[in-house]
Amino acid sequence: MLMSDQPLTEIPLEDMIVSAQEGDYMIQNYLLKSYQPFIAKSVSEVCKRYIDPKTDDEFSVGLNAFNEAIMSYCPGKGSSFLAFAKLVVKRKVIDYIRYVQKTPVAVSLDENYDEEQMENPVEVVAVKAYYREAQNTWNLREEILDFKEKLRSYKLSLIELTEVSPKHKDARETAISVARILHNDEKLRAFVQKKKKLPLKNLANQVNVSKKTLERNRKFILAIFIILEEDYTYLKEYLKGVG
């Protein structure tokens, strides 16, 4: 538990998340109030317009989603809380706009199980493992859904990627390496962010790959670039040790 006389501004964010999950309503309300600008910005990125917290229904959806993120976040999974919360807020607003209701997989263990009533410690461990896996599954789902939205802004789709992805390991590694170079170069990165396409001529001058090969793998390189740009903890696992 947090020290009662400790200023809230000095408490690490993830410590406050844990306290809120343990029933500290003061901390929970403080987080909901303090992070309203963050919520409004996340909602605005989806709606492509200024969001007024006082009048826009989308903000209310985002606020509720942020609260849901507080209560379902699992520390230690590699993704920061704010990265996780941003995905949750955006997904819920997208669902709201499309008038589609979705129920997250994440469920509090305390809602369905009383550890003190379980005589078998192995059963307790198994249940906890199940819900951790459920959390991981939901987090991955949120990342994939957000990734699909980003792909759409580049006029790409997941189905399309399965068709154009390099079939050979060497070709995939080369394409991923090119995406890393593209992402690490400030000018090239800014070009892609603005134009939503590859700067083929300039990129060809920086990599040991022909312009023709770059064009052939253009869509796959752009998809990897998007993953590198975003806070995708699970999707980035795909890139570890490659390129």
pLDDT at 242: 53
Looking at the structure, tell me whether residues 96 and 3 fall in a common domain. Answer: yes
Q: How far is CA 82 from CA 45, 48, 165, in A?
A: 15, 20, 31
For the chain, the C-alpha Rg in angstroms (whole number) is: 21
pLDDT in tens, 39-90: 999 999 888 889 888 888 899 999 999 999 998 888 766 568 888 888 889 8
- Answer with the one of 107, 139, 167 that is the final residue of a domain: 107
Looking at the structure, tell me whether residues 67 and 165 fall in a common domain. Answer: no
Q: What is the extent of the structural domain holding 40?
A: 1-107
pLDDT in tens, 98-109: 754 444 434 333
Helix (H, G, I), strand (E, B) or coil at 204: helix
Residue 120 lies in a domain: no
Residue 8 lies in a domain: yes
Looking at the structure, tell me whether residues 21 and 94 fall in a common domain. Answer: yes
Residues of the chain with pLDDT under 70: 1-6, 76-79, 99-135, 240-243
* Total domains present in the chain: 2
Looking at the structure, tell me whether residues 1 and 97 fall in a common domain. Answer: yes
pLDDT at 143: 86
Residue 223 lies in a domain: yes
Looking at the structure, tell me whether residues 8 and 91 fall in a common domain. Answer: yes
pLDDT at 108: 38
Residue 119 lies in a domain: no
Looking at the structure, tell me whether residues 167 and 96 fall in a common domain. Answer: no
Looking at the structure, tell me whether residues 3 and 98 fall in a common domain. Answer: yes
Q: For residues 124 and 110, give the distance between their C-alpha atoms in angstroms, rounded to a whole number.
A: 12
Residue 124 lies in a domain: no
Residues 6+ apart with CB under 8 A from 65: 85, 88, 89, 91, 92, 93
Looking at the structure, tell me whether residues 1 and 93 fall in a common domain. Answer: yes
pTM of the model: 0.56
